[in-house]
Structure 1
Amino acid sequence: MPSSDPSPTHQTDPTHQRKTQQDPPDPPLNPAPQTLQNDPKFLKNQESNEFVEEEEEGECGFCLFMKAGGCRETFIDWEKCVDEGEKNKEDIVEKCHNVTKALKQCMEANPQHYGPILEAEKAAEMEVIKELEKEKEGVVESIEVEKVAI
């Protein structure tokens, strides 16, 4: 005959049921962006501190980053110059020299946002310099070997 006092492990607490029914479900492990700040469709304009919708669909992450900082307009000018140069098969380095210079100056004036890119650019330049020095050393060594052989 079953005991008249059921064990606590088998009892159902009605307050516990109500509580779990009202709790929202657990968030997913990799939640989708929930705020404008994390939504790649929106950019935060550093000057106005407002979120603006992305102008182009499928824009690259680099472009989104560049447009989210204080150099948005300068970057857009640079981007237009490059696109126009590519379209017309022009020398982009020559054609866009002034807007590239303006963009670089703007980025340097806004290191709080563009600092990581400026640092990466500097590191890449240092790598190129190291590679050129290695090549130069190799050429000098081969010339010295040739002189000894002669």
Structure 2
Amino acid sequence: MASNTATLGNLPSGIRVCTTFPDLLYFPEMLFGVLVWILVACTYVLPQNPQGYVMFVSVFCFVLTFIWMCVFTCGGHNNKSSWAAADFVYHFIATVLYLSASVALAIVTLSVRTGTILQVYQLDISAVVFSYVTTLLYFIHTVLSAHRWKSF
């Protein structure tokens, strides 16, 4: 079982990134983000603008989360308070981006529910659900990162 108390006041590095909260959330954030990315890419929905924004957010957050996780895994943060603050800020921004993308995706999905193929509509619903799950994961990571930053 992962321990939250091990990360209070210090930032994990190496293999501890895979065993402590909130850093354990990197993997599900990336997994659900990729699922959103794939599901949105599989569908053709008009208008494309909200779908393009959702794709941008999912790809952008996936790449940055992967880089962020690599920095922590390699120990590039040197256990400084500024990195704890940066971790909080990054996850807050990712939460806001995913929330806005989730709302846009839900609105587009609701607006095209009639006159569309059932399978495409089901893919869109799945993308909306996974988008909100990803938003929730980033939000939880933001709250736990804020707690770690304040206790640093």
TM-score (norm 1): 0.32
Larger strand percent: 1
The structure having more radius of gyration, on CA atoms, is 1
TM-score, reference length from structure 2 = 0.32
Query: Quick check: which one's helix share is greater?
Result: 2
